[in-house]
Chain A
Amino acid sequence: MIESKDVFEAFAPYRGDAIVITTGTAGRPWVDISDRPRRDVSLGGAMGQTTSAAFGLALGLPDEKVILFDAEGALLMNLGVLATIAGKKPQNFYHFLLDNECYATTGGQPVPNSSEIDYGRLAGSAGYASNYNFDDLEDFRISVGEILNEDGPVFVAVKVVPEIENLPMGMRERRPGRSRPQMIADLRDELGIAAD
């Protein structure tokens, strides 16, 4: 397993102008690493649907590279979306999965069949153009640049160390950050897209 912060640090040099979407506890380190925050956007709101929203963004912006860092608990809630994405074949879509094998934010309970699911094969069988599984940081570091030069949709599953939270919700530290509407407004401004 790899620290998710290390995954993001290995990815960052290859990000370029890509739009980056993160979700889940494993996605949190990205905010401190990203050098293009106006091209980072949160599309959460219903667990499992960030995947759909990121796909929608890729579909609507075919000239932009769209990179999602998904979470396995969320993906399992919306697994059919793999077929939906593969069916439309968005060449600009890169679907990373940070797999910590558990629901970290609720205390670390395992997701169903947590250690045996091969997410890469699932995506490949659904019809993604290519798929990968990583559990070694050096392998990931060597490969990630080339993977991002492939035509999508590409699926990259990475085993990451869970950062389990056990404190009651009211006692957890909340870091101030941009709201979803602000992130959407910043991204649209960056891309020259008019508001609704």
Chain B
Amino acid sequence: MAVEQAQILRPETLVNQFKENGVTHVLTIPDSETNYLYELMEQQDWLDIVPVAREGETFGIALGLNVAGKTPVCLIQNTGMLESGDSLRGMALDAGFPLVMIVGYRGWTRRGIISDSAARYTEPFLHAFGINYYLVEYDADGDRITTAFEEARATKRPVAILIGDEYHGWNR
């Protein structure tokens, strides 16, 4: 049990990764799994939180912030990513700028059957859009976020981080 607890993805890891990679704005809709992360982000004076009404907005806002020389991150759930297809296409992929999107992998599990269709369609959706992604499940996976930023900067494309720790780390 102690080992499992140490492995759990901590919100501090996400925030540290954001800081190391020069993130200026987080564009987000809070969900039930990210409450503590939201509170932690709000405490950072170097970070501007932009709450949106629908996930598709995040890609348009990200484009505007990128033109202004800022470094935004989209922090959304996979359900919202599925809804955002045309915004992701027209405002991020076609515009061709570095963007890391942190996507809550609702319904995903490494063990057993995935019964939530939101999880079943998440990776096929990213494949269809040609968006590379990295799974972040445990705290030790945090460096993959920096990998995603490096890849986004090199390719001037969106890169996704799938947060596969739905039930543990962020809402404590």
Q: Using a CB–CB distance below 8 Å, which chain A residues touch chain B?
A: 41, 43-61, 78, 80-81, 83-84, 87-88, 180-181, 184, 187-188, 193-194, 196
Contact = CB atoms under 8 A, between A and B. Distances in A.
B65 A46 contact: no
Nearest to B62: A56
Contact of A84 (B50, B62, B69, B89): B50
Given A46-B89, A49-B60, A88-B50, A196 B65 contact: no
Contacts, number: 121
Interface string B43-81: 000001011111011111111111111101000000000
B96 interface: yes
B91 interface: yes
Interface of B: 24-25, 48, 50-54, 56-70, 72, 86-87, 89-91, 94-98, 153, 156
A53 B64 CA distance: 4
18 contacts: A43-B60, A45-B94, A47-B86, A48-B56, A49-B91, A52-B56, A52-B60, A55-B61, A55-B64, A56-B61, A56-B68, A57-B65, A60-B65, A60-B67, A80-B52, A81-B53, A83-B53, A196-B66
Given A78-B54, A196-B97, A196-B156, A52 B61 contact: yes
Given A46-B89, A80-B57, A87-B51, A61 B96 contact: no
Contacts of A56: 60-68, 72
Name the 7 nearest CB pairs between A and B, nearest first: A56-B64, A60-B68, A80-B53, A52-B60, A46-B90, A45-B90, A49-B60
Nearest to A188: B67
Nearest to B25: A59
B42 to A, nearest CB: 14
Given A56-B65, A60-B69, A46 B60 contact: yes
Contacts of B59: 46, 49, 52
Contacts of B90: 44-46, 49
Contacts of B50: 59, 84, 88
A37 B172 CA distance: 51
A43 B64 CA distance: 8
A59 B63 CA distance: 11
Contact of A196 (B52, B91, B153): B153
A35 B91 CA distance: 27
A149 B49 CA distance: 27
